[in-house]
Structures are given as C-alpha cells and as structure tokens.
Amino acid sequence: MSARSTLRLGTRGSDLARTQSGTVAAALERLGAPCELTIIKTAGDQNTTGSFASIGPQGVFVREIEQALVERRIDFAVHSFKDLPTKSPAELTIAAVPARVDPADLLLVRREALASDTGDWLPLKQGARVGTASARRGAWLKHFRPDLAIEPLRGNVPTRVLRLEEGRFDAILLAAAGVERLQAEQRLGSALSNIAVLRLDPLRFVPAPAQGALAVQCRRDDARVLEALAKLDHAQSRAAVTAERDALARAEGGCDVAFGAYCVSAGGKHELVAMLERGGAVYTARVTGTDAATLGAAAWAKLSAAVQS
C-alpha cells in the first residue's frame, strides 16, 4: 500500500472507542498502512441517560458508523463487537477480529459495601445498590442475588466509575475489556485505588456475546482495505465470537434482551455456555464439540427446550 494512501477509520468519540481504534490504527501503521480517525456520533452517544432498551433497536452504537461506511465517507470502522447487530448492511463485512481480551464482567464495589462473608463470589451487603444499564447484567444479578437493588447507570467508563466514587451506588458492573484497555492507556488514573475490583467468572456470570472482542468492518468490494485488515485477524477469537453471535442471532437479542454467551477453547475442543432470561426465570445451556461453528445452534436448541418445558 502506498505511503500516501491514508485509511479513514470511523469510530465513536468516547475514551474507550478512541483507545480501541487507536490500538488498531497503531497495528496497521506498523504494517505500513497509515490511518486517521474520523469521529462519528451515534444514537447511543446522543442519549446518555436512558437504559439501552429505551434508546431504540439493536445497533444504537453502530448504525451511523455503518452508514458512513456504505456512503464511502470512511474506509473502515472499529466496533466493540458486542455492540454490532447480528445483521448489518449487505455491502459490509467483518474483515478482522483481532485477538480478544478478557471477556468477563467486573464488579466494582465500594469497600464499605462489601459483605462480611468474603467467600461469596458476589460479596455485596444485603440490599446493595448496583448500577448498570444492561438488561443482561441486571437479570443475572437478580437471579443470583434477588435482594440487590438494580439501578440505571449510563455514561462512559470514567463517568460510571466517578458515580461509584461519589457514593451514588454501592457497586457497578463494567466489562473487564474496557477497563483493561483504558488502564493500559492510563485513562483511569487512580480512580480504582479505593474500590474493590472483582472479576466474575464468565462461565457463571455469562458475558454478552463477543464481549472483549473488536470487529473491524469495511466494504466487501474494497480489496485494498480487505487486504490490509486481514493481517489483523485472529482465527481462534473469530471462531469463538462467531459461535456466540450465532446463538445470539437465534435468540434475536439486542440491548433489551437478557442473553449471554461465551465460548472457550482448549485442546481442540470448544465449550459454549449460553444464558437467557424469559419471564423472570433464567436458563443456562452448555454444549461442547470440536467444531465451534455448530455450537450456537446446539446451545439455542437446549435453551429453547428448557424454556418450553
């Protein structure tokens, strides 16, 4: 690729989005493909107070970016893969899934809100106020700890941490990947110094499908960009998130659906755990196999049978 061929990278403007996109841009720069960031404000960015379900249908953090791709105003985009709807415009494709980082959720707790029983994997005092805008996180907390008070919390990661520090909540839930990426760029400073940070086992507190993964998206007909982005693809990460998103597509889930899926691989075998809330009840399915591509359908079949029984 010519040194003059600077690629236009579309991204949201939050600290986390720019950090993620900057990581991808730096990797491409090292491969000889210079990039410039184009900040695009999405519907999800414009509404920072309501729950995700109240903003609109699935894709509230990506629709405007995908439209910019279709209209050729940018060359490619970097998304948090969990934000992407299971169906995107036909003109677009996921050209690369870089190596995934930690898919788990983190429970951030004010130390005075910790329960005395430190052996509990959710060591919160009775009736603790927990902030989250995620239907999935709220449903899992209610399932495991019905005594907790789940309250809405929106905003970027630093803003949510600040709300916790101010005492508006006893605890909040965040994706480990976002915290990890911002800490690596020193964008959280010492904000977590007086807060207990607990990693929740993703095989138990099941994360959003593709949580911790990035999706690098471009137009199907742009051979130049496809060639450059292909060098960033991590096959094992792509296989795992493909299985998780296949299960999501069968659940027809968006931001307003409590659904989680996580695929882990070891020794040539894959395990997919999926979790679904329906009518106040939470159902879990675990399936294993040597072909990750078949696991989404198998997990959804188990979940459907459990719901109907």
User: Residue 92: what are its φ and ψ, rounded to 5°?
Assistant: -110, 155
User: Packing angle between helix 157-165 and helix 176-184, nearest 10 degrees?
Assistant: 100
Give the separation between CA 75 and CA 5, rounded to whole angstroms: 11
Token digits of residue 156: 């970027």
Give the separation between CA 134 and CA 214, rounded to whole angstroms: 19
Look up 83 and say whether it is catalytic: yes
217 and 67 Cβ atoms separated by less than 8 Å:
no
Token digits of residue 36: 């410039």
Partnered with residue 105 across adjacent β-strands are 175, 200
81 and 215 Cβ atoms separated by less than 8 Å:
yes
Order of strands across the sheet with 259-266?
A: 259-266, 269-278, 281-289
Q: Which of 54, 18, 49, 48 lies closest to 36, judged by CA?
A: 18
Distances (CA, A) of 55 to 11, 25, 49, 61, 186: 19, 30, 9, 10, 31
Q: Which of 15, 45, 75, 83 is catalytic?
A: 83
Encoded amino acid at 275, one letter: M
Give the separation between CA 1 and CA 3, rounded to whole angstroms: 6
Question: Which residues, in sequence order, are CB contacts of 67 under 8 Å at separation 6+?
Answer: none
List active site positions.
83
